[in-house]
Amino acid sequence: MTLKIRPAHSADQHRLTAILHRSKASWGYPEEKMENFRCAFRLTAKDIERGVFLVAERDGQPVGFAGGFARGETFCLDYLFIAPEATTQGIGRLLLTRIEDQARIQGVKRLKLESDHFAAPFYVRQGFEQTGTRPSPMSPTGAIPVFERRLSGPAFPLKSIKLKMSTEADWGFEQSNESAISAHWQDVTRKNPHLWNGRTLKVTDLNFQDGHLNGTCQESSFAAFLAWRDWGFPSLATYNLFGSAVLRCSDGALVFGVMADHTANPGKIYPPGGSLEPSDINPDTGEIEVLGSIFRELEEETGMTSADVTHTDTTAIFFGPMISVAAILEVNETAETVRENILQHSFATEEKELKDAVILRSQADLTQPGLQPWAKAIAKAILPIGQPQNA
């Protein structure tokens, strides 16, 4: 039974309201109180349209949802409800994590929520701190707790990285969803026959402390990765760690690529880079050469090699299940020249992975629709605040 996380739609309002009511009743509230609750609390299409809502579903049926609204620097989590038959399966923690990912994209600095009396221990376990109470006729104590949790920034200096292959050969997600992954791959390749089902590496055990990143990787098919991504990253035990070649030119500007329409990320904007592959494994040490992967992708996408750049710094960008190991590479040429050379290279290759390249000179340039959130975080950590300039 494949679990998926997806954005809520206005048509979900009645099914999500039913989960809201059944979930609340599962705590054992008297019917009189529940009748009042059902009359007072209903999810509307307008709520879904103006807020950020995610749905967890199994085989097309919603089993839980989370949602709320950004208010200034705070994301107010007004809803997190799981159908009674789907509790104790980790879905609540998964939805909470994925809604936090969405809150980070909106640039908020904290999460805030008013918890059901009986759900309070769950939020304490997730690192929330109680900041007060609010009167509630539903609560057996007459009040419900108010919780907050600060969100740390996504960018951290990276001192070292050590990844090794796991002793478990197969990725559990791929094993458990084999038939659904196959059907999904058939669907996406019917729409885009240019996709290739190669092999990738995914991090399934991760530790990051004091700038040192350690973990283990498992091999998977690209089809399995694509399903995991398209299904809303329905696992908290897996991370997509990849390298990014951040080109900083002699005039201080950054040059990011715009992915071609026949790729798996059409129109999306981010630094040259890509997934870890089995070829990135050092045969002598068994470790994954992340920096080697970055330079491999740099050459494939731009034609530049390690001899053309100077590696000055490395930053880890954490965005939910995605981790970019961003190598800052200084280029002794202007951004206009770098962009022109990149496009000349890309158009001359058989793959033609990039259809364009954009120049980013200041944080005012970070409003382009295709710019990926994690890539925006990289640029924001490097570029000055200023007015946009024409490249």
**What are the tens digits of pLDDT across the range 28-50?**
999 999 999 999 999 999 999 99
Closest alpha carbon to 55 in 85, 20, 104:
20
Looking at per-residue pLDDT, the higher value among 182 and 1 belongs to: 182
**Domains: count for the chain:** 2
CATH number of the domain enclosing 94:
3.40.630.30
Q: Do 121 and 195 belong to one domain? A: no
Pick from 118, 150, 182: which residue ends a domain?
A: 150
Q: Do 170 and 142 belong to one domain? A: no
Summarize the confidence of residues 266-284 as an average pLDDT: 95
Q: Do 100 and 207 belong to one domain? A: no
Q: Do 369 and 328 belong to one domain? A: yes
**What are the tens digits of pLDDT across the range 75-132?**
999 999 999 999 999 999 999 999 999 998 888 999 999 999 999 999 999 999 999 9
**What are the tens digits of pLDDT across the range 86-99?**
999 999 999 999 99
CATH number of the domain enclosing 228:
3.90.79.10
pLDDT band at 387 (very low <50, low <70, confident <90, very high): low
Structural domain containing residue 21: 3-150
In a domain? residue 387: no
Pick from 128, 150, 172: which residue ends a domain?
A: 150
The CA-atom distances, in angstroms, between 372 and each of 152, 215, 324, 364, 368 are 19, 25, 12, 15, 9
Instruction: Say what the alpha-carbon torsion angle 99, 101, 102, 107 is, to the nearest 10 degrees.
Output: 130
Average pLDDT, the chain: 94
- DSSP state letter for 132: E
Question: Which residues does residue 170 pair with via DSSP β-bridges, in sequence order?
Answer: 219
In a domain? residue 28: yes
Q: Do 173 and 276 belong to one domain? A: yes
In a domain? residue 388: no
Q: Do 241 and 259 belong to one domain? A: yes
